[in-house]
Amino acid sequence: MKRFATLIAAALTLFACGNDPSYKGGIPKDGTDPEEGQEAITEEVKVPEEYADYTRVALESSITKVQPMTGIVMWAPYKSDDISLEYSYMQYNDVCKEKDKYDWTVLDKLLEGIASRGHQAVIRFHYTYVGKKCTVPDYIKAWPGYEETVGKSEGRTTYFPDWRCEELKRFHLEFYKKLAERYDKDPRLAFLETGFGLWAEYHIYDGPFKMGQTFPDKDFQAEFMRGMSEWFKETTWSISIDSADNTYGPFQKYPDLLDLRFGNFDDSFMCQDHDGYNYRSWLFFGETRYKRAPLGGEFSYYSDYDQEHCLDEGGMYHRKFEDEVAKFHMTFIIGADQPSYQKWNRIREASLSMGYRFRIRDYRVGDGKTAILIANVGVAPIYRDAWLAVGGKRAGYNLAHLMPGNEIWVTVDATGTPAIECDHLVSGQKISFEADI
């Protein structure tokens, strides 16, 4: 989100005054080995003995469109064949105004519109937005004892919720449980971002910060995160890297939370100081978190220069976008202003460097079966279930387990043209692969 550069120093100072962000209590573990059977991509194709007598079949394919659930994201509504994702902030009081009464029409209309353009959504609900009133439901604003804080943020009058209110806490948990019940398997929704504070970015870097009042206490944050992990089985949820700061986040009090399957987003990606504060914040969550959940963000708004040059082919601040994407295993990034600075060919090229990218390296047929060596030559996994299919029959191996830089042999008891199938796509979307056999 946009911020004044002169105020960013305050946020960095605040972080520096907190505990060491390199703390890594609880590197993410899920008790399984999703990489079982995979091998690092080798220059020469190694054919297992059981497929040696199969006939190698020629196959040509290329990836020309930004792949589903990856790439540079535009703010909704946006019509373009060069993106796959659209972003939108959402307001809690657009869905709930009265206790226990939820009307999801505004979200359904948003998702329907995005899907009609052949895209999927990235959404983030917020209570506090600089210069605006709080989006706490009306009935809670009238709750006995509830008292919002009105203060200045970025020089504008801004309203902050009262997290002392038990009904607000109850509502917040119920809201996300109902959101999961309704949308967890909805193909129109790609990724969910969540958090507290300004823009739900997990900070109040400028304004009246009071832990337990304008920002929820760490006990409640922990309860919320554990609930999210329970309620959302399919849709991944992400929180800001700013939650690494012990001033705001609960992780040093509850290090086991780092074991939960959540992703991260960085809303000042490519900023000048990215190798400092941002990098330390990323490291806090572990260098392998991308294996379990998506990493995303937004291009830095610290200065107009950042927006103008973040996608320059020569890079800026001695860093190139594609190199940073590979370094952080980024799947998506909001870049709504980039059409003002870059040509669409460059935006598409940058988008294609993000997320997963499948390549079929060998394709053999024998005994009515097909053996395929498939590699992920991208920078991240695909975070939804996907399968190789031949002649309309799916292989048993889930490509969501295929890590970047790895390859695996997959067999299908059928012959025919290979494809990649995924049930979490909207009309017009297709997962492609490249091949030169």
Burial environment of residue 155 by CB neighbours within 10 A (0 to 12, 13 to 18, 19 or more):
exposed
Does residue 280 share a domain with residue 317?
yes
372 bridge partner residues? 363, 410
**One-letter identity of residue 427:** S
Determine the pLDDT at residue 116: 98
The CATH number covering residue 80 comes to 3.20.20
Contacts of 242 (CB under 8 A, 6+ apart): 201, 202, 203, 248, 249, 281
Q: Which helix (H) or strand (E) holds 193?
A: strand 189-193
Does residue 370 share a domain with residue 259?
no
Does residue 247 share a domain with residue 196?
yes
Determine the pLDDT at residue 23: 31
Does residue 200 share a domain with residue 162?
yes
**Positions in the chain short of pLDDT 70:** 1-34
Determine the pLDDT at residue 31: 45
Burial environment of residue 95 by CB neighbours within 10 A (0 to 12, 13 to 18, 19 or more):
buried
Distances (CA, A) of 398 to 24, 37, 77, 184, 260: 30, 12, 32, 19, 21
56 close to 424: Cβ distance less than 8 angstroms: no
Residue-number span of the structural domain to which 259 is assigned: 5-32+66-351
Alpha-helix runs per DSSP H in 79-121: 105-116
pTM: 0.92
CA dist., res. 166 & res. 214, Å (int) = 13
Structural domain ending residue among the three candidates 306, 324, 351: 351
Angle at 110 (CA atoms; ends 106, 115), nearest 5 degrees: 150
Does residue 224 share a domain with residue 337?
yes
Place of tokens 């399984």: 32
Determine the pLDDT at residue 15: 39
Does residue 257 share a domain with residue 381?
no
Structural domain ending residue among the three candidates 351, 370, 400: 351
Does a cis peptide bond (omega within 30 degrees of 0) precede residue 381? Answer: no
Angle at 318 (CA atoms; ends 317, 324), nearest 5 degrees: 95
Q: Of the candidates 358, 375, 274, 393, which has an alpha carbon nearest to the alpha carbon of residue 323?
A: 274
Does residue 387 share a domain with residue 275?
no
CA dist., res. 254 & res. 243, Å (int) = 13
Structural domain ending residue among the three candidates 351, 386, 403: 351
- 384 is written with which tokens? 């939804």
Does residue 391 share a domain with residue 347?
no
Does residue 262 share a domain with residue 395?
no
Distances (CA, A) of 211 to 123, 169, 247: 26, 14, 9
Phi and psi for 410 in degrees, rounded to 5?
Answer: -130, 135
Does residue 305 share a domain with residue 161?
yes
Determine the pLDDT at residue 1: 44
pLDDT tens profile 268-305:
999 999 999 999 999 999 999 999 999 999 999 999 99
Does residue 347 share a domain with residue 363?
no
pLDDT tens profile 343-376:
999 999 999 999 999 999 999 999 999 999 999 9
The domain tally of the chain equals: 2
Does residue 261 share a domain with residue 219?
yes
165 close to 143: Cβ distance less than 8 angstroms: yes
Determine the pLDDT at residue 5: 35
